Structure 1
Amino acid sequence: MPATPLGANLLGRETSPYLLQHKDNPVHWMPWGHDAFARAKAENKPVLLSVGYAACHWCHVMAHESFENPEIAGLMNELFVNIKVDREERPDLDTIYQSALALLGQQGGWPLTMFLTPDAEPFWGGTYFPPAPRYGRAGFPDVLRGIAGTYANEQDKVGKNVDALKSALSGMGENRSAGAVDAGVLDQVAQRLLREVDPIHGGIGTAPKFPQVPLFELLWRAWQRTGREPFREAVTHTLANMAQGGIYDHLGGGFARYSVDERWLVPHFEKMLYDNAELLDLMTLVWQETRDPLLETRIRETVGWLLREMIADGGGFAATLDADSEGEEGLFYIWNEEEVDRLLTPALGADGLATFKHVYEVLPQGNWEGVTILNRLGGLSLADDATEATLAKGREILLRARAKRVRPGWDDKVLADWNGLMIAALTHAALALDEPEWLDAAGRAFAFVRDRMDKNGRLCHSWRHGQGKHTGMLDDYAHMARAALALHEATGDPAALDQAKLWVATLDAHFWDGANGGYFFTADDAEGLIVRTKTAFDNATPSGNGTMLAVLATLFQRTGEDAYRERADALAAAFSGELTRNFFPLTTFLNSVELMTAPLQIVVVGPPKAAETEALRRTVLDHSLPNRILTVLAPGADLPANHPAQGKGMRDGAATAYVCRGMTCSAPVTAPADLAALLSTKT
């Protein structure tokens, strides 16, 4: 590689779409790495670290206002060494410096703007800064001059900030243990969380509203354990509001990241792979019990969007669709009454047009800043078949018209952790709705990550344009191991189980904290950062440690190997003390505790693919069973020695099912109706 040029923007060498968005800035951006910090030391300058992602609206705003401004860029180049990071490529860095900002008493978010010493130690920061003072924020040029002046002339002050932040950040590698987790706490937590649910619009709290999927899965599990209707209503009402709200793309399918209002009307228009994966999983789980036609429709439309718009080169799933097009947030998705009238009148006629406009809230004055965000919040159920046919015809016409607009940016990098979430969700949906093509797509994405994103037996976090980049992190291994187990259950392929075991072995070898328990976010041989973090808290995505608890519990049930049970027990105990401090972000962890303590092992013994075997298997898949571990066993095949159904076989030559709770199995059943009755029993 040629020597690093002085006074140049070096992002043109990168593959990240976000970094490449900034390659023509007059800022002398450098990617994170040794060269940047060596330059900062050589020039005795502080580092300006800017973290964002390709679909981030305010990142685009700050880029246009400041990073494309030659005068502001000149000031940045004069006073700082400037580093640009894609938070989706480097969640390890983002986690550390977002935490540093929180310790400074500021609200986190993107773009993240942090100021570091040449040793990567933070001493001050913020998020978005305007080019001149407004919104109660200092102008960015004033901030730059002030920070550079402080760094040059008040090293004692900088040093005190660095020491205080380093001391506080060191706690990011610690965990609180309080012994084994009492499964009885699950109902208490669910009851407390229920109080936070908006009874009118669903979701948690007021604006802005995020889907909070693991939390609503916890409430759904509580409904299934207790039969208490408020738990069920909280979940179904929230999903209906999201499914009919503007946060859902009623033309193209898929959900936006979050709603800026409490009604789910106005989305932050970016679409993220991980949100759609989590929502797909939850909608499937709930639909298996309710058979709500609205949920089935949204499941099918969301998968349709995924397979139409989010498959990257090679079969992996792409990361995001931008919020902006033509420099304006949401422009691709909004409508006005005149457009709708002109496009739909010829096909729908006056009555059909009136129906469409009424259902989707198309008003002369719009429903948001003078324009219309299509939504169906006026009714939380689908209409009659004739009306739905009219609406579908109108949607198809608008979708074709929308396709001619300038599309939002597409970030087609493949992230191992987000792919793991979607592969598992798509597999679960494929089984529930009996869609083999969906399962095939999940298998192709899995093979892409397994084969193309592997370097000497270790996962890469990110892939684009033929390059795997950045050492795999805890979430990559955890979510891909969960995906492997989902595919193993779906297909019976032993290679998928073996792959899950290999990835867990890597985590045990390179991520496990032998002293205090729990998995670190980064490997012991990864790039040295200022702190090695460890947490069981959910963030935008489910916690890696929380997910690993379910993975380990499932592996124990699948293999009978005590090492997996012992590691699951140690992992649960490692974070059990956090429950007394703050259980709100621990819902993935708690959901996994339930799986660990109350797995529902179902064994169907019968000739593979035989009609009677498939009928029993189909009965299982038709039920909402979040703790399900389903095994289809050929006659004569064996289960692990400590499996409660070990040694049990077919009854009277017919395919036979056993339902095992704990170490106790049901009597054998051969009729699907009898199996359904067993599965509907709560205890």
Structure 2
Amino acid sequence: MENLLGQETSPYLLQHQDNPVHWQPWSKETLALAKSEGKPILLSVGYAACHWCHVMAHESFEDPATAAVMNELFINIKVDREERPDIDQIYQSALALLGEQGGWPLTMFLNSSGEPFWGGTYFPPGNSYGRPGFTNVLQTVSDIFKNEPEKVTKNRDALKTALQQHNKGFDGDRPKLTLEVLDRIAARYAEEADPEYGGIGSAPKFPQTYVLETLWRSYLRTGNEGLAEIVIKALTVMSQGGIYDHLGGGFARYSTDARWLAPHFEKMLYDNAQILDLLLTVHHETKSELFEARIYETVDWLLREMVTDEGGFAATIDADSEGVEGKFYVWSRGDVTALLPDHASHFCEVYDISEEGNWEETNILNRLNYPDMQDVETEASLKECRDILFAARASRIPPGLDDKVLTDWNGLMITTLARAGDYFGEPRWIDAAETAFVAITTNSMETDGRLFHSYRLGRAQHSGVLDDYANMSRAGLALYEITGKAFYLERVQRWTGLLDKHFWDDTVGGYFYTADDAEALIVRTKNAHDNAVPAGNGVVLEVLAKLHLLTGERAPFEAATDMVRHFSAEIGRNFFPLATLLNNFETLVNARQIVVVGQRSDAQTLDLIAVLKDFSIPTRVVNVIDETEDLPFDHPAKGKTKQDGKPTVYVCTGPVCSAPANSAVAFRALLEEGQVHGPA
């Protein structure tokens, strides 16, 4: 046997191609090899930007003695969780069923059928951190597999049964979901907010943007200012904490501490897409200078560092450089003083830079002690200082870029970038979003519309999963609403048709994570749980709701209501991971339709649409049409016309439309009368 990872395209797998471990890719052939050899499988799942993945690789996988034990006792499979989220999802669930907290690196032990019987995450080389040493684990698992097969069988059967039950969904009461229920759930989420440092929960602190969006939506419905304060504080501390790159823009994945100082420094495309999206939604009302600055800086980072040659967006930037976590980003006081001789004292005060350091004897730039924006002159001076440090940082060895283009993550960023470009009047952002959309449809899509999940080095690989279709459909709808190009709507209709054909559960409703003709794994997962990315079923709910409202087609609405009916059984059991589904339920039942009768290119039409920039309306659906006669017979705007020959807007909720408005002043008054929240 030999290490076969050199034949792969994933940067993460290629990082391990020179390991002395005989790594194999996940394949039917590898599973068959385990069966013929009579060995258990060691499955290691990680990703290129993962700090602890690097640690375990350096300590164990690069060590010849450890590799010799692995090669002797196991068939060793290495998987990039970003390339194969279907595999990762199954075995993360299995680990959770073992009572362990999930994460990466994921280390699972399987039989030759791919059925798990034990596992963990990071294991140190020797007994430490309260965890057994990796070599000891290898020997113990191998001995049990050989000598106590009944234990392996017992664990395997229990895990497999639990996984199958988990993916059937939950029986029991199906509470009626209403907006009032959403507000009660938001109140419960609010109890988990950290009143001192902001955000949800305690260390480690993740952005949890879907939960924050639930709170913001409830605030918009109820006027509960306390909910808005939680969201604004969370976005403020994330924007001013060490989780944000104050020189280059962009957010790291999460904070290791409660006060948002010290991140794991990897930057993920999906995190930045989601944080930007929420900043944008909240900025519609707050007009926060800080939030606007972070949006512009992060988009600048995206377009400077994350655009691939094909025009798509790269996946991640590593946490480590030169083998050290965060080395690229941190500063000593001496370095800053040398670069800023006339401004060092003030800059170091504002950005928390000291001789002793604020993290591991060095300094992470942050403004947690100065979260408020200073006067214009002071901020301009600080910007000049940051530019000097940024230029100096460019001479350092940068962390690695994982430049594979993931379809689902691109969908998230395309939506956000298009929305931001429309809101701030930045056509180049919309152009970049459209270019990325074309890159996906050119490189990661077959002629029949079927999507691949990953693209790199000229190779599109791995069957598209639910999230790919959901997030790209959402992106298509965003681009359609902004540009009016029918191409985008037609593409979304084709993708949702493919979802219905290949992913829909005909028995009880909802969409499976994988297609019916994809590789058969030990279980076909289906849930509506948010993880690092929003749940595909939750995103599809918004897509179906908007598709119904924009086209009048009944089938998307019926599929959406079936989804809500199916997944509502989980609300009584545990609603915490269902935030995306809950948020988009509001869009399904209480969307604010903005129907503009007029030409999109007309200056007066554009003036009407521009009014929306001053109102936070997460459920809005914008439909610009020449004639309402083309709307379905039961659409509330059917038959509505221009007034006085001018482009005219109607605000429709449910079966009722507002009075017409054919001026920006009248439209603004309509929204204010409807108690839609505008600038504070």
TM-score, normalised via structure 2 length = 0.97
Q: Deviations over 1:347-372 (max 9, x none)?
A: xx2xx322211111111111111111
Q: Deviations over 1:153-178 (max 9, x none)?
A: 11111111111111111123212362
1:6-155 equivalences under 5 Å are 7-155=1-149
CA contact (8 A) 1:421 1:483 kept: yes
The 4+ residue runs of structure 1 with deviation greater than 4 A are: none
CA contact (8 A) 1:173 1:520 kept: no
1:641 to partner: Cα distance: 2.6
SS of equivalent residue, structure 2 residue 315? strand
SS of equivalent residue, structure 1 residue 580? coil
1:612 to partner: Cα distance: 1.2
Tell me which amino acid in the other structure corresponds to 2:181: V
Alignment pair present for 1:682 and 2:672: no
Q: Report the equivalent of 2:396.
A: 405
Q: Report the equivalent of 1:478.
A: 470
Given candidates 550, 554, 560, the residue that maps to 1:562 is 554
Alignment pair present for 1:274 and 2:266: no
1:116-195 equivalences under 5 Å are 116-176=110-170, 178=174, 181-195=177-191
Distance in structure 1 (CA, Å) of the matches to 2:581 and 2:628: 37
Distance in structure 2 (CA, Å) of the matches to 1:642 and 1:280: 36
Q: Deviations over 1:106-149 (max 9, x none)?
A: 11111111111011111111111111111121111111111111
Q: Deviations over 1:380-427 (max 9, x none)?
A: 221111101110011001001111101101000011110111011111
Distance in structure 2 (CA, Å) of the matches to 1:398 and 1:311: 23
Q: Report the equivalent of 2:531.
A: 539
Count of residue pairs the alignment pairs up:
672
Alignment pair present for 1:311 and 2:301: no
Tell me which amino acid in the other structure corresponds to 1:422: M
1:182 to partner: Cα distance: 2.6
Alignment pair present for 1:385 and 2:379: no
Q: Report the equivalent of 2:591.
A: 599
Q: Report the equivalent of 2:424.
A: 433
Q: Deviations over 1:284-328 (max 9, x none)?
A: 000011101000000000100000001112001000000000001
Q: Deviations over 1:516-541 (max 9, x none)?
A: 11101011111000001100110110
Tell me which amino acid in the other structure corresponds to 2:667: L
CA contact (8 A) 1:179 1:574 kept: no
CA contact (8 A) 1:605 1:633 kept: yes
1:273-672 equivalences under 5 Å are 273-345=269-341, 349=342, 352-457=343-448, 458-634=450-626, 638-672=630-664
CA contact (8 A) 2:629 2:638 kept: no
Tell me which amino acid in the other structure corresponds to 2:211: L
CA contact (8 A) 1:31 1:85 kept: yes
Tell me which amino acid in the other structure corresponds to 2:410: N
1:340 to partner: Cα distance: 0.2
Distance in structure 2 (CA, Å) of the matches to 1:98 and 1:297: 37
SS of equivalent residue, structure 1 residue 463? strand
Tell me which amino acid in the other structure corresponds to 1:426: L
SS of equivalent residue, structure 2 residue 630? coil
Tell me which amino acid in the other structure corresponds to 2:242: G
1:635 to partner: Cα distance: 5.3
CA contact (8 A) 1:258 1:268 kept: yes
Q: Report the equivalent of 1:3.
A: none
Taking a change above 3 Å as real, the CA distance of residues 267 and 121 of structure 1, as seen in their structure-2 partners, is same
SS of equivalent residue, structure 1 residue 630? strand
1:578 to partner: Cα distance: 0.5
CA contact (8 A) 1:180 1:569 kept: no
CA contact (8 A) 1:617 1:632 kept: no
Between 134-143 and 239-248, the greater mean CA deviation after superposition = 134-143
CA contact (8 A) 2:628 2:639 kept: no
Taking a change above 3 Å as real, the CA distance of residues 641 and 472 of structure 1, as seen in their structure-2 partners, is same
Tell me which amino acid in the other structure corresponds to 1:377: L
CA contact (8 A) 1:245 1:264 kept: yes
Distance in structure 1 (CA, Å) of the matches to 2:166 and 2:533: 18
Distance in structure 2 (CA, Å) of the matches to 1:498 and 1:179: 35
CA contact (8 A) 2:422 2:482 kept: yes
Distance in structure 2 (CA, Å) of the matches to 1:456 and 1:499: 12
Distance in structure 1 (CA, Å) of the matches to 2:236 and 2:157: 49
SS of equivalent residue, structure 1 residue 234? helix
CA contact (8 A) 1:130 1:140 kept: yes
Distance in structure 1 (CA, Å) of the matches to 2:573 and 2:357: 45
Between 647-656 and 84-93, the greater mean CA deviation after superposition = 647-656
Distance in structure 1 (CA, Å) of the matches to 2:11 and 2:180: 47
Distance in structure 1 (CA, Å) of the matches to 2:214 and 2:150: 48
Taking a change above 3 Å as real, the CA distance of residues 433 and 418 of structure 1, as seen in their structure-2 partners, is same
SS of equivalent residue, structure 1 residue 392? helix
Between 628-637 and 505-514, the greater mean CA deviation after superposition = 628-637
Distance in structure 1 (CA, Å) of the matches to 2:599 and 2:118: 65
1:678 to partner: Cα distance: 1.8
Tell me which amino acid in the other structure corresponds to 1:582: N
Distance in structure 1 (CA, Å) of the matches to 2:183 and 2:545: 21
Q: Deviations over 1:441-464 (max 9, x none)?
A: 000111111121012421000000
Structure 1: where are the runs of 5+ without partners? Answer: 1-6
SS of equivalent residue, structure 1 residue 184? helix
Tell me which amino acid in the other structure corresponds to 2:625: L
RMSD (CA atoms): 1.1
Distance in structure 2 (CA, Å) of the matches to 1:455 and 1:80: 37
CA contact (8 A) 1:645 1:660 kept: yes
CA contact (8 A) 2:175 2:572 kept: no
1:342 to partner: Cα distance: 0.4
Q: Report the equivalent of 2:243.
A: 247
Q: Deviations over 1:177-219 (max 9, x none)?
A: 6275233201100111111111121111111100000110111
Distance in structure 2 (CA, Å) of the matches to 1:430 and 1:258: 26
Distance in structure 2 (CA, Å) of the matches to 1:650 and 1:293: 37
Q: Report the equivalent of 1:220.
A: 216
Distance in structure 2 (CA, Å) of the matches to 1:354 and 1:74: 54
TM-score, normalised via structure 1 length = 0.97
Q: Report the equivalent of 1:237.
A: 233
Distance in structure 2 (CA, Å) of the matches to 1:464 and 1:310: 14
Alignment pair present for 1:200 and 2:196: yes
Tell me which amino acid in the other structure corresponds to 1:206: S
SS of equivalent residue, structure 1 residue 454? coil
